[in-house]
Every structure is written in C-alpha cells, then in structure tokens.
Amino acid sequence: MSADGDGAPYLPFEGGRFRLAMGLMPLPSAEWIEIDGRFSADLAAKRALLQARHGDVFAALPESHGASLELLALLARHLPQHHPDVFRCAGDRLVNAATAESWDVARPALHPLDLAGRLVQEDLCLLLPDGGPYRLAAASLCSPARWRLADKIGRPLAAIHEPVPGYGATLAAPVDRFFALLKPGKLVWRLNWGIVDDPAPFQPAARATPAPVTAENAGERLWLRVERQTLQRLPATGAVVFTIRTHITRLDAAIRRRTSALELAAALRDMPADTSRYKQIAPLAPALLAWLDARAG
C-alpha cells in the first residue's frame, strides 16, 4: 500500500525486493470494487473504446454466457449495497447516479459481461475449466498492459502466461492448484506493477517510438502502472472471476518520499534481467535509476 506522502494508491515494491510470486491476500467482500474520483471519466473512456474498438476490448466464448449472467447479477447486488452513494436499484434496473445511466440487469440489452464491464472501473475476465486447465472464456478488457485480448481468448492459463519469465517453472503449478481449490465466498487480491513511458490505460502494444527519457526528465515522462487484481469463484457456474483495476500515476507524483525512491530503486536492481526486458523496463532503467537515486538524495 502507499504510505502517507506518496501520490499513488499502491506501492507494491515496498521492501525493495522483487519476487515472482502469486502474493495473494484475503480481501473483504465490501472492498471488491473500487470507486474513486476518476469513476465517471474512466467509464466514459470505456464507453468510447467499446464504441470505437469493440472487438479489441470485448470477447466472449458461447460457453461463458451463464457465468456472465451470474457475474452481472452479483455486481447488481454488490454495487448498491457497498456503494449506495453511486448505485441504487429501481425494480430490475440498476441506476448509476454518477453517469445518469440506468440498466435493465434482469433483461440486459447487451451481452451480460459487456454490460458488467460498463458498470465499474475494473476490467473483468471469466475463466472456465475445460475438463482440465482453466481457460480465458470471456473478458471486458479496456486497460491491457501490452497484450491483446484476441491473442489470449480461449487459451489456458499456462499459455496465456507463457511469455512471463519464470512462470512455467515457478508459478504454473501453484496457480493451477489455487484455481482448483478456490471455494465460493473466498475473495483474494494481489498487485502487479511496472514502469511505462505511456500513461494510456488502453495499451495493447508499446509505443512505436519510445519517449526520450533522461535522468532529469524521468519523473515527468515515466509512469508507475499498478494493477490491483482480485479473484473469486462464482457459486452457481463455478467460473473464476478475475478483475483488474489499473492505477497510473506519473512517477514524480507517485514517488515523493526518499524511502519510496530507495525501495523502488532496490526492487529494480533486484529484478532479473529477463523480467526487466519482458516488462520493457530495461531500456528505461539507466535514466530511471539515476532519477530515483537523485530523488533519494
């Protein structure tokens, strides 16, 4: 979590070590969905993306329909209960006071997962077992971090994470075990992070021409990108819901304290070279570390 004095809501590198681990923590159900000051703007950006590039940000296999309906019904109960200042029920309709939208959640005009994704700032993914490994069966994904939904839909977890250095040797077996043993009613969360040279939430690929970054301007030209991820099992269909809430904070706003600069620098120096290349941090590292060292005094 972010300490007082820093501008990012989460600082996952506290402690200054890099570990390839699931890092799952229990989460109270009331804290499942985050709503903050960017709520209306983020939903407007989602609407624009779904209008302009629907096939890039939404996909659903036919077998995911039942789970999509179950997830929509869960959100329709959760949001008015835990965010009553924004959401209320009016019969079968869910009313969003912040955007003046009203949705029939009992008879949705859209695919139920498409509608669910328009209610919250989180991206929503549904994973289903296929007689074995869990597969990505549906997703509303408006904030991809340099991956394309079309490349992942329908694929099992191991194939989805194949590009991640060390995943097969270190995480594949624990992740498969976790999915097999996850019980309905248990909600967990984790954080994933990176440093990027583009603040756009929708980022299926890196910039064709990276921004020039120096030790002097890294704080203004780089951003801390943190994904708050949650996992839970739907009781009726058995699908696993994976949510991704993306927080993007300019580096000089995120790292204000000497301690945070020291810890991020230490985590970057501790990061394996193949992971740094995979996260596309390696080209930025010299300028980034010089800026952090100066920030730390």
Instruction: Find, among 204, 61, 226, the residue nearest to 139 by Cα.
Output: 61
The per-residue pLDDT for 19 is: 78
* Other CB atoms within 10 A of residue 166 CB: 14
Q: What is the pTM of this model?
A: 0.94
What does each of the 297 residues of the chain score in pLDDT, given as a tens digit?
333 345 899 999 988 888 778 889 999 999 999 999 999 999 999 999 999 999 999 999 999 999 999 999 999 999 999 999 999 999 999 999 999 999 999 999 999 999 999 999 999 999 999 778 899 999 999 999 999 999 999 999 999 998 898 888 888 889 989 999 999 999 999 999 999 999 999 999 887 777 799 999 999 999 999 999 999 999 999 999 999 999 999 999 999 999 999 999 999 999 999 999 999 999 999 999 999 999 998
The per-residue pLDDT for 6 is: 55
The per-residue pLDDT for 4 is: 38
Instruction: Find, among 187, 210, 213, 194, the residue nearest to 147 by Cα.
Output: 194
The per-residue pLDDT for 172 is: 87
The per-residue pLDDT for 207 is: 79
Long-range contacts of 180-185 (CB under 8 A, 24+ apart): 182/231, 182/232, 182/233, 182/240, 183/233, 184/232, 184/233, 184/234, 184/235, 185/232, 185/235
Position 267, amino acid: A
139 close to 124: Cβ distance less than 8 angstroms: yes
